[in-house]
Structure 1
Amino acid sequence: QVSELVQFLLVKDQKKIPIKRADMLKNIIREYRNAYSEIVRRADRTLQEVFGLQLVEIDTKRHIYILINNLPRAEGQHLCRGKEKEKMGLLLVILSFIFMKGNSVKDSALWEFLHLLRVYPGKQHSVFGDVRKLVTEEFVRQKYLEITPIPLTDPPEFKFQWGPRAENETSKKDVLNFVAKMQGKDPTFWASQYSETEANQ
């Protein structure tokens, strides 16, 4: 529910539409109404940590929210704005998925995972555009991801791994901490991933 809510809020933010609590309940939270405040709190934390955005209630009577840019304005600091920032958020989610699945995933597994986030590879996405192209071309060209054909597969299958830029710009420890925060668990919960991050230090 947290991932779905994050996606929902990002799409609304693209159009700069204020977000009503009623819409969040109706479209995303539905039967998890009792956990509303916990889901919103976790979604807000993810938005802050991944996208540099903060969910702010601007009308406490009617429960209307907006997303505001929460990134530091340090002088000379390079900030990717708008769609670039959101693409980096999606990239972090993909890198996390690859790492948690043992550092390599089949393309079919990745598309299935993105489906759960309501990001469909075959459809034009309002935030990310052509998702398949973004993942298989742009992220690969930027060296965030590597895509390799799996031998002797018909129809051809591919596997995704971290690219060299991802290895340099982030660490598996950061990614594991991100996943742990998303799931509300301690990083040691994932024993093999945790020992890998410790070994990489």
Structure 2
Amino acid sequence: MSQKRRVSATQSRAPKRSQIVGDDEDDEDMSFTQPTSSQVQRARENFTTVQIDRKTAEVVQFILIKDQKKVPIRRADIVKHVMKEYKPIYQDIMKRVTRTFEQVFGMKLLEIDSKNHIYILVNKIEPVAGEPVSLYPSNPKTGLLFVILSIIFMKGGVVKEALIWNTLKKLRVDPGEKHDDFGDVKKLVTDEFVRQKYVEYVRIPHTEPLEFEFRWGLRAEKEVSKLKLLEFVAQLHDQEPQSWTQQFREATAAESSQ
């Protein structure tokens, strides 16, 4: 085969840009450019207050639907599926959306990733006084999540996955067996909770066989009160929260910064 033909064959096998970047929604966000002041002004003049209110309501509804699965919401999705021709006044509408969530729903819309423009709806997760930490009748998944976050927090913020699985087994939640409430426990924790940004599941470098560790995710940092969590753990052990000096210091510092 000639040199020219070899080059041509190599080029034909090279992945397309869309395959490298990901899906169309990634392209959509990469193409997002901040509008000029004149473009913003023209858009404000073109749309009536009623139209902007209607579009704000559509964005709120879109985010609520996305949040039902606790999946982070991307700017690319909002622009592509809802904003469309309202794109030049994206910031105006998102301010209204944020205000709506705070005033109507008592929730906060937070941008947890300013580089990739990813949002979450924050609603404080707190333990229920008097309830066993492993059982929340209304939402068993929340109870399981709370157990896992408690373990990570009390162990200094990073734990090997073996500790998580062994602790859950003591609570009769075996990651190797199908659970009545949780289904595939390991998939729920390492896939669903990770996608929802409640936990991070990170490979530990230079381990053979492969080992992984758990950390708190961005959503957990925003939603879960470490002080409430520590107070609840202290109740279970019939001790004061101050008994865990390092955790108490971290929890009170986190509370004061919010």
Pairwise same-fold verdict (TM > 0.5) = yes
What's the C-alpha RMSD, in Å, of the aligned pairs?
Answer: 2.2
Structure 1 partner of 2:147: 93
**Paired AA for residue 138 in structure 1:** E
Q: Which residue of 2 aligns with 1:73?
A: none
> Structure 1 99/50 Cα, relative in aligned 2: closer, same or farther at 3 Å?
same
Return the alpha-carbon distance in structure 2 between the equivalents of residues 117 and 145 of structure 1.
Answer: 20
Larger Rg belongs to: 2
Q: Hey, what does 2:199 align to over in structure 1? A: 145
Structure 1 contact 46–182 (Cα < 8 Å) conserved: no
Partner of 1:157: 211
**Is the alpha carbon distance of 1:122 and 1:89 closer, same or farther for their aligned partners in structure 2, counting shifts above 3 Å?**
same
- Counting only pairs closer than 5 Å after superposition, residues 52-201 of structure 1 correspond to structure 2 as 53=137, 81=138, 85-200=139-254, 201=256
Q: Which has the higher strand share?
A: 1
In 2: Cα distance, 1:172 partner to 1:198 partner: 8
Structure 1 runs (4+) deviating above 6 angstroms are none
Counterpart CA distance in 1 for 2:249 and 2:144 is: 25
Identity %: 49
Task: Determine the C-alpha separation between the residues in 1 that align with 2:230 and 2:145.
Answer: 14
CA distance in 2, matches of 1:151, 1:48: 33
Q: Which amino acid in 2 is paired with 1:182?
A: L
What TM-score does the superposition give when structure 1 sets the normalisation length? 0.59
Runs of 5+ unmatched residues, structure 2: 1-127
1:45 aligns with 2:130: yes
Residue by residue, what CA displacement relative to the aligned partner does 1:106-136 show, whole Å, maximum 9, x if unpaired?
A: 0111111111111100000111111000100
The count of aligned residue pairs is: 128
Structure 1 residues not aligned, in runs of 5+: 1-42, 54-80
Supply the distance in 2 between the matched residues of 1:120 and 1:193 (Cα, whole angstroms).
Answer: 28
**Higher RCO structure, 1 or 2 (CA under 8 Å, sep 6+):** 1
